Amino acid sequence: MRRGERRRQLLAAAVKLFSERPYEDIFIDDIADEAGVAHGLLFYYFKDKHGIYVEALRQFSRDVQEYQRPRTAERTTEARLHGMVRRHFEYISRHPQAFVGFMRSGLLDPEVRQIFEAARGAGVELTLEVFGITSAPAPILRTALRGWVGFLDEITLDWLAHGDVPLDDIVQLANDALIAALRSVEGHHPDVTTMLGDLTPVA
């Protein structure tokens, strides 16, 4: 097995385990066993448990962003937005502990914080892409979208913790919150008017 393949195996095993169980319940032996490689390789590639945890969160962040991207069949802005948000919840529901750990350690661990901030920025960029906006957003729009991405993260935590809100309802709540955020800054920049027009077409 090539070096890169061993590293990928370890990382895939770490993403799987950290998605299923809390950080403190997983040991280096668990990750090596799941990957089917010698335990010493984990130290060779990632130094320690924290090192592979950080890399697993980085991979998790890349994976969820890729999974959220619009699909070819989603031809309208409404369809792309609905699909993006629904896929967010679908993906997180399959990797709950990774998301919870990401959110809880994001403010405390400098390395995780860096990934956390990049993920929030990527969320804003993806939302703009859904609306077909390729230029840098106006400050007021950037701020509104950043706030919405934070809102999305927080309601996801609550959704995971309680499990008493149907998927369709939580997706609709997230979509409605984005419309409310955009309406709160309507009139400040033409892009906002365009975005709202794409979501609420004239009859």
DSSP 21: S
CA count, 13 A, side-chain hemisphere, 82: 13
- Enumerate long-range contacts of 148-154, CB under 8 Å, 24 or more apart: 148/177, 148/178, 148/181, 149/120, 149/123, 149/124, 150/120, 151/177, 151/181, 152/85, 152/88, 152/123, 152/177, 153/103
What length is written for the chain? 203
The residues, any chain, with a CB within 8 Å of residue 59's CB and separated by 6 or more, are 11, 15
SS3 call for 8: helix
Q: How far, in Å, CA of 29 to CA of 16, rounded?
A: 14
Which secondary structure element, helix H or strand E, spans residue 22, and what is its range? none
Question: What's the Cα-to-Cα distance from 1 to each of 5, 37, 39, 175, rounded to whole Å?
Answer: 6, 10, 15, 46
Nearest to 167 by CA among 79, 97, 72, 91: 91
Instruction: Give the mean pLDDT of 54-81.
Output: 92
What is the domain partition of the chain in residue ranges? 57-199
Confidence (pLDDT) at 148: 97
CA–CA separation, 31 vs 103, rounded Å?
22
Q: Does domain 57-199 have CATH number 1.10.357.10?
A: yes
| Helices (H) then strands (E): counts for the chain | 10, 0
Between CA 86 and CA 167 the distance in angstroms is 8
- Nearest-angstrom CA–CA distance, 116 and 60: 11
Burial of 90-100, coded b for 16+ CB within 10 Å and e otherwise, reads ebbeebbbbbb
The mean pLDDT of 70-93, rounded to a whole number, is 94
Give the pLDDT confidence score for residue 101 in this predicted structure: 82
Quote the mean pLDDT of the chain. Answer: 90
List the single range of 82-86, 99-103, 152-156, 183-187 with lowest mean pLDDT: 99-103
As a whole number of angstroms, the distance between CA 111 and CA 163 comes to 30
Percentage of residues in the chain having pLDDT higher than 70: 95
Per residue in 130-171, pLDDT (tens digit) is 999 988 999 999 999 999 999 999 999 999 999 999 999 999
Which pLDDT band, with edges at 50, 70 and 90, does 112 fall under?
Answer: confident
Average pLDDT of span 52-58: 92
Q: Is the pLDDT of residue 202 over 50?
A: no
* Cα Rg of the chain, angstroms: 19
